[in-house]
Amino acid sequence: MERQKKEIGFWMALLPLVIMILVMLITVVGLGQGPHMPLILGTTAAALVTWRSGFTWKDIEEMMYKGIRLALPAVVIIMLVGLTIGAWMGGGIVATMIYYGLQIITPSWFLVAIAIICAIVSLAIGSSWSTMGTIGVAGMGIGLSMGIPAGMVAGAIISGAYFGDKMSPLSDTTNLASGLTGTDLFEHIKHMLFTTIPGLLIALGVYAFLGKRFANGETSLDQIAQTAAVLQDSFLITPFLLLVPLAVIVMVALKIPAIPALIVGIILGFLSQIFVQGGSVAGAIEALQSGYSIETGNEMVDALFNGGGLDSMMYTVSMTIVAMTFGGILEFSGMLKALMDQLLKVVKSTSSLIASTIGACVLTNASCSEQYISIVVPARMFSKAYKEKGLNSKNLSRALEDGGTLTSVFIPWNTCGVFILGTLGVSVVQFGPYAILNFIVPIISILYAMTGFSIVKMTEDEKLAYENEKDLELQEN
């Protein structure tokens, strides 16, 4: 006998989310454990609510599988980044980038410089993850060698990487936000300049201020010299190795997809370990699988260079899969829609609409643990509300990126937060206060909504097209 399915109400939809967040706080904050178990418990609670509402177990399984399928491209990138780090560690590529970085960047301007470098690279390749997994790893080594706290370094790297991810026409989130809202891609990017450029300038100003404390520090200079000497003793440093990351950047800039570009980078790193560093084939394979291993006697260098490889990313991969089972049930059972519909009831003005959109993106990042869903779901839920208020679609597309793309890093159990922990080795608690761009841009966006600055209304032609669209819907119904 087929079960009678019924719509899930707001309070029942809220229950799994509350359970997950409460258990997450107890487990992660109170007990210092990972986020996997709270998400599994949240998934169980969501499955029970869904089953109680008339769905079959087969339906619930399919919801989980749909959620996982959404994350599969991210899972592939995560694994390739792990391989890239292992190959580039073993091939001396990361060591070379760190060595030359120590020669040309002063401690006082390092945070500014690394943010700008990451912004340029991410703008060119359209991927914050690839930027953090390559340039970001080297940047962590340079910053730590200069005696700069890991949280500050990671915050600057993240701010730069997400600037490019948000503004690049090659970025998947940029194309997703513009496509879902029916906004021209370059109109979308131009509209984001109003919030993102001030955000970047504020971030760079803060990094310049923070960097002053590291100027002319004897300890920093001694540490830099010592680190450079250890790198020279442990690796063959040559500028030719810089061609490897340059090749990856150029390939992606030429619109070669990220996956084949990263594979080329992995192969070049693998060959560098054998033919440039003089390593064995077995050692190069081991670096790809379980990470590179080295003992230099320098505690900081050993901590930095013992890592990478496919195995190092399995925590992140499992976290992504678990998170997406939870997100899949919330999304495809209608629970997330029930939560969003309740949010839309309190929207009375343009400012509250944009603030609600950003809030919904943050909520989705926290509940579904995936950046892409934080753009997809609010885009579907809020599209009609923007049209009803006579607002151009570019307002929605900008709010989606300001609230969804950027805030994903602040959720420890979101795939972005977990990726950063696995790649840069820094937790949300450490880097959160220093990821200036990521939290200042949503604030700027809400302030603009309150003042009306850069809020674009529909043209008369757009209003007429929307009225015709509504008339067609009425005729069909």
pLDDT digits (tens, 9 = 90+) for 314-325: 877 887 788 778
Provide the pLDDT confidence category of residue 475 given band limits of 50, 70 and 90.
Answer: low
Q: Which two tokens stand for residue 390?
A: 């006579």
Instruction: Output the pLDDT for position 459.
Output: 82
Instruction: Output the pLDDT for position 476.
Output: 58
Provide the pLDDT confidence category of residue 399 given band limits of 50, 70 and 90.
Answer: very high
Q: Which two tokens stand for residue 399?
A: 């709010």
Assess whether pLDDT exceeds 90 at residue 360: no
Point out the least confidently predicted range of 145-154, 163-172, 241-250.
163-172
Residue type, 283: G
Angstrom distance (rounded) from CA 114 to CA 153: 8
Residue type, 8: I
Assess whether pLDDT exceeds 70 at residue 430: yes
Residue 223's alpha-carbon distances to 55, 300, 303, 314, in angstroms, are 61, 10, 15, 33
103-112 average pLDDT score: 83
Instruction: Output the pLDDT for position 389.
Output: 84
Q: Phi and psi (nearest 5°) for 426? A: -130, 135
Comparing 221 with 163, which gets the higher pLDDT? 163
Instruction: Output the pLDDT for position 437.
Output: 96
Instruction: Output the pLDDT for position 314.
Output: 85
195-209 average pLDDT score: 95
292 DSSP β-pair partners: 307
Answer yes or no: are the C-beta atoms of 244 and 88 closer than 8 Å: yes
391 DSSP β-pair partners: 457
Helix, coil or strand: residue 380? helix
Residue type, 395: N
Helices (H), 258-370: 258-275, 281-290, 299-305, 314-332, 335-344, 350-368
Answer yes or no: are the C-beta atoms of 422 and 145 closer than 8 Å: no
Comparing 154 with 388, which gets the higher pLDDT? 154
Instruction: Output the pLDDT for position 251.
Output: 82
141 DSSP β-pair partners: none
Angstrom distance (rounded) from CA 166 to CA 161: 9
Instruction: Output the pLDDT for position 3.
Output: 60
Percentage of the chain beyond pLDDT 70 is 93
Angstrom distance (rounded) from CA 83 to CA 92: 14
Q: List, in order, residues 6 or more apart from 131 with CB less than 8 Å away.
A: 118, 121, 122, 125, 160, 161, 164, 165
Instruction: Output the pLDDT for position 220.
Output: 57
Q: Tokens 């990263």 belong to which residue?
A: 262
Distance from chain centroid for Cα 287: 25
347: left (phi over 0), alpha (psi -120 to 50) or beta: beta
Q: pTM of the predicted model, to two decimals?
A: 0.72
Residue 448: closest CA among 194, 167, 178, 183:
194
Percentage of the chain beyond pLDDT 90 is 25
Residue 294: closest CA among 230, 242, 244, 224:
230
Instruction: Output the pLDDT for position 474.
Output: 63
Assess whether pLDDT exceeds 60 at residue 217: no
Rg (CA), the chain: 23
> Torsion angle, CA of 305/307/310/313, rounded to 10 degrees?
-130
Highest mean pLDDT among 9-23, 103-117, 126-140, 278-292: 278-292
Answer yes or no: are the C-beta atoms of 373 and 328 closer than 8 Å: no
Helix, coil or strand: residue 65? helix
Instruction: Output the pLDDT for position 136.
Output: 86
**Is the torsion defined by CA of 181, 363, 159, 84 positive or negative?**
negative
What's the mean per-residue pLDDT of the chain? 84
Instruction: Output the pLDDT for position 132.
Output: 87
Instruction: Output the pLDDT for position 232.
Output: 87
118-140 average pLDDT score: 79
CA neighbours within 13 Å on the CB side: how many for 340? 27
